[in-house]
Each structure stands twice: as structure tokens, then as C-alpha cells.
Structure 1
Amino acid sequence: MKLDFNLKLTQEQRLVMTQQMQLSVKMLQMSGFELQEYIGKEVEENPVLDAEYDTNSNLKEKNNEIDYKKFIEYLNFDNYSGKNYYRNEEETVSPFTFISNKKSLKDYLNEQIIEVNEGEYTKEICKYIVENLDNRGYLDNTVENICEEIEAKKDDVEYALKVVQSLEPDGIACGDLKECLKIQLNKKGIKDENLFGLIDDCLELLANNKLGEISKKLKIKKSEVQRYVDFIRTLEPKPARGFYTGENVKYIAPDAYIRKIDGEYHIIMNDDILPKLKISPLYKNIVSSENNDNDNDTADYVKKKINNAMFLIKSIQHRKSTIYRVLEQIIDLQRDYFDYGKEYLKPMTLKEISYRIDMHESTVSRAIRDKYIYTNKGIVKIKDLFTVGISSQAYGDDISTIKIKNKIKECIESEDKKKPLSDQKICDILKKEDMNISRRTVAKYREELGIKSSSKRKRF
């Protein structure tokens, strides 16, 4: 084998992204809160940056008194008025919300333990059991382990467990789903053997809606099985549901408001979620001063920090203008959606928007990632407005997947529950209305809607 080593000169074109370009792209795809956190870190690390957080943009105070006229205007603007009262996710969080602390499941149980007529020793074991509950309200430990951990007798721990299980909510501190359901039946005073037998031996069959097999196993009529199943579904499989879990609630802040004024839709960018950034005058003077000859290192350091700050400000402005341009085209294409609602959402792709604003699809994709807008329909994720469609001669235009899903939902809601429609039958119905999709696509959309298959929807 002959090995040769040669030197060759080649010419090629490559796009190499600088660190600043990469940062600009990264900032474009950040959500409002992610960008807020990023800006906070930059302000801490860059001494030349000044950030102003405008906390009184909507309410103005004068002589420590609230301007109530402005306050009422603010309430009316965001649909808080008495004539049209409903909660929108966009609403500014009221300070009154945080006057009282949210009660967790463990707090609720410990308050009940204080009131039970038991000795202090039993109460302490009960409190330890409560600390071992998972986020469903199930006991995430065994009696044997608890005995070892707190050096208690098994009889004492089992008795304390019964005390905890007697508390509200029903089914708490159970070991598994079967025990959870049976605790609830016992507390309701129900002693039906068939019902307990169904829970003990047929839960898997119940989950798959195989009522015929349950009927044979329990030797009762299908109609009775259906009645038992309906009752079991009224029980709570997760007793902890509805209680505060201790996790912080993440609020969605819209990047823009879409308002209809004099028959035309206008985009109002939400500048309140980000602080106003500017360069500190002190550091500007250091750079501009003519007496920097003796301290060039300081001047160079300040210049570098000012350049970084200016780039950050420009990138934020670029992010804002890109989102604005994308929203302009969305409003133009989806006017019927904003006027009449979700059923009028037209097929729209990233490629279509990118062509209109002369940007790459990836840029548009980053611009809408985790971004929300506030409309007269509430808060909407921008990405949800992008849907594919199928061609249709009858409708004269492409039909969006949203419209197809709504039609599937209508078919299932109006079906005979004793003879539910199969995916193929739904497919045939859609084809008659010139919605030409396959059976597999019907199944896919049905699952996305959270609707079970025909065999699991059947009732007896």
C-alpha cells in the first residue's frame, strides 16, 4: 500500500455563525419569561446596563392616592367590568389573590389529625404517614418500612393508617387503585359483592370496556355491568386531585394583543413583560472622556461592555419587529378566524408566512416558539394557528385539520351509543362531505381529540 501526503488548496463558501449571531437566534426563540430571566442575568453581569421596571404603567398614583378614573378605564379595557365579567388567562394577577395561602393536601390532613379523638402517639404516626403520600394521595411507602423508620410496632402503624384513611378526601393513603376505590365504597356504606368483585378482578377489562367478558366472569347481565361501571367512574382515582401541590404556577404573558378598533385589527406589542434597557450615562462619560490615555484598559473594558449592551438592545428590538411582521401576515390570512372563531381557521404553513415576509422558515418557526397572543377569544398560542389542510373541490379551498376534527367530534357525539361508529364509518361520512382522508388519519385525529375507539365507547 502506497500512502501519499499532498497539500491542496480548495475554495469553498461556508456560513459561520458568530457568537453574537447565535445569541440573536437564541433570543428570538425565547418566550417572554425566558427572555426576562436572561435580561436579568445580563443586567447583573454587565455594569453598563440600566434596567427600568415600569410597575405603574397601568395605574398611576398621585399624592399616594389611586387615580380611580384611570383604574376603571384599565378594568374596562381588559373585560373586568360587571356587564361582561369572565376570567381570561391574560388578566393581570390581582394582589388580593395572595392574601390567603393555598392549602396543600398535607396541610388539610394535618388539620384533621389534630381534631381526631386519638392519643398523641397515634397522631404522630398519622402525621408521618401523611408525609409519605405522593402527588396522587397514595401511600408511597410500606407499613413494614414505616415501622423500621420510626421504630414503631406494626399494629400501631396499621391502626394509624386506618385513622388517616378515615379522613377526607375519600380514598386517601391507599396502596393502589383497587384499595382507593374500595375505601370510597366502604365510606359510602356500599356492600355490593358484585361491585367489589368487579374492582378486585375486572379493572383491566373495565379499562378496555370489555363488558361482555365482565358479564360472564361475574355471571350478571351486561346492563347491570354497565350500571356498575358507570358508578365506578364517579369515584375519584386520585384523591389528591384539586389540592395545591406546592409547585409554582406558571403564568402565560402574551407577547402581543390583537385589538379590533373601527373594524380593523391592530397589533399592540406587550412591552410590559420586559424592562426598558439603556446605557448608563456614567460609563458613556468614561469612554467619551479625553483623559483616558492613562487608563486604556478601563476604557477598552467599558467599550466592550457597551458593545455587548447595544447588541442586546438591538436583538430585543429585532425579536419584537420579527414577531410583529409575522403577526401582520397571520391577521391578513386568518381574518375570518379572528372575526368568527376557531371553526373558520384556514390552513396556514410556516412556508407561506416566510415567503410573505421574505424570511427563512426556521426564523418564522423560532419567532412563534412558545409565543402567545391575546385576542377577543382569550389567550392563543401562535403555533396553534398553523394548520395543514386537505384539498376540497366542494368547499372551493383547502379544509383545515381543525374543521375535520370538529366534524369527527360531531359524528361521535351524535352516534348511537349502543352501536358506535367505527373509524371506517366516520371516514365514509367525511368522504361524502368531500373530506378525503384515510381511516388511519381519522384514528389519529380521534386520538388527538382524546376520544376512545368504538369498542371502548360502546354502552349496553
Structure 2
Amino acid sequence: MEQKQSLRQTLSPRQILQAKLLQLNSLSLEAYILNELELNPVLESVEQETETEEIFEDEDNSLDMDPVDYEFEIIQPKGEQKNLLDFPLPDKLDFMETLIKQLDDYSLSDLERTLCEEIIWNIDERGYLDVELAMIADRFDLNEEDLIPILNLVQSLDPKGIGSRNLKECLLVQLNEESHSLPYL
């Protein structure tokens, strides 16, 4: 006795036709429909106005506005002409400033905050620490080991892993911070 497993896939003629119609662009589809109308005497073309055309017709009537409705001017004291470019733009923090702003949530000494800011300002555009930790430690007459807790604090800011020295460290920080993550080796 022998068992054999096979898999067959069959398409109905309707599925084949639907697949062909889906592959046609709008011009080819229109030509196909016209051809079918000519070949099959039972089919007839029905012109029907769609709801979207009715909506557009209604909207056209509602767009008649008085010129007063859409003309405006900035009210200024007489004699002063200000350009719109002279108006100040709202303050928007850049990425580094956003990271530094997050430090306000921690109670840090002045030295710790300065060290955090130093690390943040040495992060490159990819989010990695751009200088060796030893160089920052030398600038502040500290040991490199003294900066590890400060670096860990910066890496815990949002986005997690910012300021990592390499991809492996960044991923490990993200995994350690995520309490719902899967166990890893």
C-alpha cells in the first residue's frame, strides 16, 4: 500500500475572466467592454449618472462666494508695513534639545547634568555616540567607569538606546528596557 499526496488548484472560468479584467488598465477595460457589447447582442450599454457627479453638481452651486468672503488683510496700524516673514515662528525644539529637556525628569547634580549634555551633544545623526567615552572622561578629569551610569541614563531617554556606541549595545538597551519583551540569551 502506498500513500501519495498531491495538491491541485483549479480556477473556474469566472475566476479566469476576473483575473484578466483586473489586469487591464482603464483604456483596455473600456475597449474590452465595448467589444463585448458588440459581440453579445443580449448586452446593452446603460448610461447612468453616478452619485459623485450629483455631489459635484451640488458643490458647484455652493461655491459661489462674494469676494468679501475670501479677501482678507492683516490689520496693522497705519504707516507700518510688515512682511509675513517678519513674524516669529513658533519655537520648535530640535532632537538634541528634546533629549536635554527629558533630563528635567531626573534629579541630577550639576556635574551629572553637564556630563549627560556632553554625551547628548556628541551623538551623531544615526543616534550613536560619536566620541570615545574616554575622551569625555578626560575632559572632566574622570575615569571612564564613572561615566557608565551617566551613559546608561542617556540611553534610557526616549528613544531607548540613543547614545549607544554600536548597534549591539543599542539593541541590548532596548531589550533591557522593554518589560514585555521575549526572553533572550
Q: TM-score, normalised by structure 2?
A: 0.50
Higher relative contact order (CA 8 A, sep 6+): 1
Give the strand-richer structure, 1 or 2. Answer: 1
Bigger radius of gyration among the two: 2
